[in-house]
A and B are shown apart, each in its own frame.
Chain A
């Protein structure tokens, strides 16, 4: 993301434009905003994402001055704005319901705020015309709100809130009623405006793609609390909870029990033999023929490689150990050597091998965890691939989305998993189809390990 260069939130010296300090908002005994603290910086494009009723509009209304916090305070440029009435705040809001004045024409609606400022007539006209051009409403300037379409009304509301070029602009679902093309154009328009005017935007949206496109940071809300605030890529790639992972984008959630890979510390302690491993599989195979007794090669193998795992070999009881060796042998063969040492093994189903995640903290060891896997991070193939995590299943459904297809695969234990593949080939040449036995595979860093119940 290009915006990552702009990151005032990482600079502790930077003063926030807006600061929520332990803000709680109650309606009767219902808590709409729950002890929320958050800093928003000047020139940010701050997106609020969350399910319906989680308190997004309430946050906006507190910023605009239509609601006062029940507890805590809101600072605007360091000043507590609790007592400042809405008309004295350098904040404009685009209402979720548009709130256009039905008795005024589109033109007069847009000019409303400018006239209150006592701006000169010709300046108002110029500004309104500019806004009309921006929102492609020139043709409708003389119409009343009830004479235009829903999308056009939304654009009038947007134009009206933009007209005063406020320091802080609050947009409550500004583009929901627009078709995709116009929405994308307007998104870029908004980003342009933001860049050229330096306005700070707080935007509510239900459209994640939109949040990802425009936002410098995304805040995911749940029940009046902000669950995670981060740049769009971090929110997507490294959600901090199952809730965020599930809310943003498509995700497969696999719950299981994590264990720190016992082998890991040992192999980590001797990283040198690791590269030597590839050569080894050839040598154990001849040892198979002489299974009852370990030969010199076998002994060497045991002493150098397996001993740390299996413990010291008792030379008096060779057979069971040999069996153990053979039992252990497939491991280095089937699990390819590129599995990085360490990380977690997630036991989740008796029908499938544990899943390996190398990018998780070992503090999860022994805990109930959820492995969140984005469908596009899964690979799908008809033959068993050479990968650290492989799951076998059957294609139940294929959703063709044009540029990509989503395969709904039922694993051997019944779990449904989604995998997304780019359609680089034409549909007719697609090799995987319904009812096919397939293998899903992914790397040890593809997923994100999250604590269960978050």
Chain B
């Protein structure tokens, strides 16, 4: 009995905080927008009996999904989001891997300090940090001053309000999610494996590709998914750093919801986003599972 109760807690948690909200959102996505409160129809009136419930279900349809399919704006937004998420993830990986590698190879007494430095930015407000990037990337910003100061460029670069700024913002924000899993994979690696590889004829570089890389693959996967999944639906970073042409599904969703007050379409957008994310989420889970089995 006690056991059952204990096991039921996480399920209850999932039910209340995930499944029920999802069902509500899904239901809204099947409704029609209306000038009402809440701004959609139909609403379920349980007090009016069976007939009204039947009527309620009859009024639900997939109209909004057809609409999303017909309007190229949404398709473009999804594709553009995917692209931005992929590019930022790759960028994060390129920056994060060397950092994780350096940390794992640092003297053991330095590692906790380095770890803390990676996590430290999380203790300040996310919004303020993204605003700070505005100051760095703007035309008169620190970056341009620096580049002009050392004579690398003659005219200031336009970085702010472009996709580049969004990539930088995402890579910056999600960097710890990439660094930590890779670091933990690399740290576990036995140095004698590299020596064995060298002993068997590998150069240092070959040993890295043949041993270090494969052994940190699980960490790379985990980190990439941890960056990719939230990046796909990212809203704050593209709205603050991106330009008017930066099309991301998070922004579209926001506009549908707050500017258009079209809750049903916004919900449909959210449901499809979730469906898209199921693929990487399942892959991520498989990766974690495999890693756990190998660790045994």
Contact = CB atoms under 8 A, between A and B. Distances in A.
Contact of B199 (A87, A101, A117, A146): A87
Which one of A64, A65, A91, A99 has the greatest number of beta carbons of chain B within 10 Å? A99
Contacts of B296: 146
B125 to A, nearest CB: 41
A113 interface: yes
B197 A103 contact: no
A102 B215 contact: yes
Which one of A113, A116, A164 has the highest number of Cβ atoms from chain B below 10 Å of its Cβ?
A: A116
Interface range on chain A (Cβ under 8 Å from partner): 20 to 34
A402 interface: no
Given A97-B190, A99-B190, A99-B193, A86 B199 contact: yes
Contacts of B215: 102-103
Interface in A146-205: 146, 160, 164
B203 interface: yes
Contacts of B196: 93, 95, 99-101, 160
A85 B193 contact: no
A116 B214 contact: no
Contacts of B192: 95, 97, 99
B219 to A, nearest CB: 13
A120 B84 CA distance: 44
Contacts of B87: none
A92 B206 contact: no
Contacts of B201: 87, 113, 116-117, 164
A99 B192 CA distance: 6
Interface centre among A113, A117, A160, by most chain B C-beta atoms within 10 angstroms, is: A113
A101 B202 contact: no
B7 interface: no
B199 A103 contact: no
B24 to A, nearest CB: 45
Interface string B179-218: 0000000000010110111111111001000110011010
Interface in A62-76: 64-66
A405 to B, nearest CB: 43
Contacts of B211: 101, 103
A103 B190 CA distance: 13
A273 B192 CA distance: 71
A146 B198 CA distance: 22
Interface string A100-124: 1111000000001100110000000
Contacts of B199: 64-65, 86-87, 91-93, 113
Contacts of B203: 85, 87
Nearest to B217: A103
User: Secondary structure at chain A's binding surface: helix, strand, loop or mixed?
Assistant: loop
B294 interface: yes
B195 A164 contact: no
Contacts of A113: 199-201
A87 B294 contact: no
A161 to B, nearest CB: 8
A103 B214 contact: yes
Contacts of B190: 97, 99
Q: How large is the interface on B (under 10, 10 to 19, 20 to 34, 35 or more residues)?
A: 20 to 34
B186 to A, nearest CB: 13
B195 A66 contact: yes
B207 to A, nearest CB: 8
A146 B294 contact: yes
Nearest to B218: A103
A113 B196 CA distance: 9
B200 A164 contact: yes
A99 B296 CA distance: 17
Contacts of A97: 190, 192
Nearest to A116: B201
A116 B202 contact: yes
Residue of B198, B201, B210 ringed by the most chain A CB atoms within 10 A? B201
A102 B200 CA distance: 16
Nearest to B294: A146
A211 B192 CA distance: 25
A86 B206 contact: no
Contacts of A87: 198-203
Given A87-B201, A117-B201, A160-B200, A99 B206 contact: no
Nearest to A88: B201
A164 B197 CA distance: 13
A81 to B, nearest CB: 14
B195 A102 contact: no
A164 B199 CA distance: 11
B198 A85 contact: yes
Nearest to B192: A99
Interface in A318-368: none
A93 B200 CA distance: 9
Given A92-B200, A103-B214, A113-B200, A86 B195 contact: yes
Contacts of A95: 192, 195-196
Contacts of B197: 101, 112
Nearest to A118: B201
Interface string A384-416: 000000000000000000000000000000000
B200 A116 contact: yes
Contacts of B200: 87, 92, 112-113, 116, 160, 164
A378 B211 CA distance: 57
A99 B207 CA distance: 13
Contacts of A117: 201
A86 B198 contact: yes
Contact of A116 (B193, B206, B217): B206
Contacts of A160: 196, 200
Nearest to B195: A66
Contacts of A91: 199
A97 B193 CA distance: 10
Nearest to A64: B199
Contacts of A146: 294, 296
A87 B205 CA distance: 12
A117 B202 CA distance: 9
Interface string B81-99: 0000000000000000000
Contacts of B195: 64, 66, 86, 95, 99
Given A65-B199, A85-B198, 19 more contacts: A66-B195, A86-B198, A86-B199, A87-B200, A87-B203, A92-B200, A93-B199, A95-B192, A101-B211, A102-B193, A103-B215, A103-B217, A112-B200, A112-B210, A113-B200, A113-B201, A116-B201, A116-B202, A146-B294
7 contacts: A64-B199, A66-B195, A86-B198, A87-B203, A116-B202, A160-B196, A160-B200
The 5 A-B residue pairs with the shortest CB-CB distance, nearest first, are A113-B200, A116-B201, A99-B196, A99-B192, A86-B198
